[in-house]
Structure 1
Amino acid sequence: MSADPDVRKRILRAELRERRQVMSDLERGHATEGFTARLQELVGTTGAESLSCYLSLPTEPNTRPFVNWAEARGIRVLFPITREDGLLDWTVGEEQTESVGMHGVPHAHGELLGPMAINDVDLILVPAAAIDRTGMRLGWGRGYFDKTLGSMGKCPPVYAVVFDAEFVESVPRERHDQAVNGVVTPTRIIAF
């Protein structure tokens, strides 16, 4: 395998994307139940009253049942909105609707709060392709979350949400990559 981290990342992302695409509906359903339960546990242990969470694509760990649970309990949830400049805006999605944004990413509709809004949350939940045993996150290659996390002065706990097989021994890393504080899978929560 190439020593170039960028090439190694692209190869690993392709393998992980393929694995996600061939998951059965039954496997996906069981994983969603597990994610929802683990994320509820995480909110309970952190005492988070506000959080940021992505809206999942069909092949990603399904965050919607958890988001519905959190909102029903009065937890303020910020959703990311991708921008042309590589930054993220945020919204609480008060319109309760969504559309497809840049790169095919689901966007909640609501008042745009700007990139700084994330500074006020108690917990950040991010998507990932894989997480390694040191907490290093392999994203999908656009750098939105790396830029966001790298620019925060005081960052609350950041947990990546991945399927069990995506918690791996190591991932290729580059200087700009941001580690996370923990990982949530359908079967466990691990803090680093």
Structure 2
Amino acid sequence: MISEPAGAKRALRAELRERRRIRPSAERDAASVDLTRQLIALTSALGPRSLACYLSTPDEPETRPFLAWTAEQGLEVLLPISRDDGLLDWAPYDASDEGSDVIGMPVPTSDIVAPIAINDVGLILVPAAAVDRTGMRMGWGRGYFDKTLGSMDRRPPVFAVLFDDELVDELPREKHDQPVDGVVTPGGIQRF
């Protein structure tokens, strides 16, 4: 039997996927420019020497221009690689070729580092389907980031990357869901 929050999350994810799929390309391009500016502002304000981010899929807010900026700044960036067991490996961003992981997500082709390397970053940027105004993050249902964030003893600031309309008033919650410290959208940065 599926719990009520799980069913509500599944329906909301389907709606959000469709909204992302039909988002006009001109709106997506403008969002990319603004989001890059916001991600640079957050990173500059927090001043981490290293951070974790991800390579966006075609329907997600675009992270590659920001990642190019991190390379120019000499920042160390770890990118996630999904594993068959539901956990994440990490690999350094090297601004070169991309591949796909076991679930078809874009990943770097650089060598994998020890999974505990995530414990040394000063900022984590995570994908999300939506985040509510209390900081509760709803991912896409696979639990990779919830497991990672929930297993960390010392978590650096964690910010979800979203489109502006994906910051919502309230989301269904389950006990394994992990909150974030803030969101970065094309329209700005919000801390919780």
TM-score by length of 2: 0.97
How do residues 64-143 of structure 1 correspond to structure 2 at under 5 angstroms? 64-94=64-94, 96-143=96-143
- Distance of 1:9 and 1:191 partners within structure 2: 23
% of aligned pairs identical?
55
What per-residue deviation string (whole Å, max 9, x for no partner) do you get for residues 126-171 of structure 1? 0000000000000000000000000000000000000000000011
- Distance of 1:164 and 1:54 partners within structure 2: 19
- Distance of 1:104 and 1:88 partners within structure 2: 14
What per-residue deviation string (whole Å, max 9, x for no partner) do you get for residues 3-52 of structure 1? 70000000000000000000111000000001100000001110111100
Unaligned runs of 5+ in 2: none
Say if 1:87 and 1:115, in contact at 8 Å, map to a contact too.
no
Q: What secondary structure sits across from 2:9 in the alignment?
A: helix
What per-residue deviation string (whole Å, max 9, x for no partner) do you get for residues 80-138 of structure 1? 01111111110113371111222221011111113211000000000000000000000
Q: What secondary structure sits across from 2:103 in the alignment?
A: helix
Matching residue of 1:173: 173
- Distance of 2:53 and 2:93 partners within structure 1: 11
- RMSD over aligned CA atoms reads 1.2
With over 3 angstroms needed to count, the CA separation of the structure-2 counterparts of 1:40 and 1:95, relative to structure 1, is closer
Deviation of 1:66 after TM superposition, in Å, equals 0.2
Unaligned runs of 5+ in 1: none
> Are residue 158 (structure 1) and residue 124 (structure 2) matched?
no
Matching residue of 2:26: 26
What per-residue deviation string (whole Å, max 9, x for no partner) do you get for residues 53-90 of structure 1? 01000000100000000111001010001111111110
- Distance of 1:47 and 1:161 partners within structure 2: 18
Say if 1:88 and 1:114, in contact at 8 Å, map to a contact too.
no
Q: How many residues align?
A: 191
Tell which deviates more after alignment, 43-52 or 57-66. 43-52
- Distance of 2:74 and 2:158 partners within structure 1: 21
- Distance of 2:3 and 2:151 partners within structure 1: 28
Moved over 6 A (4+): none
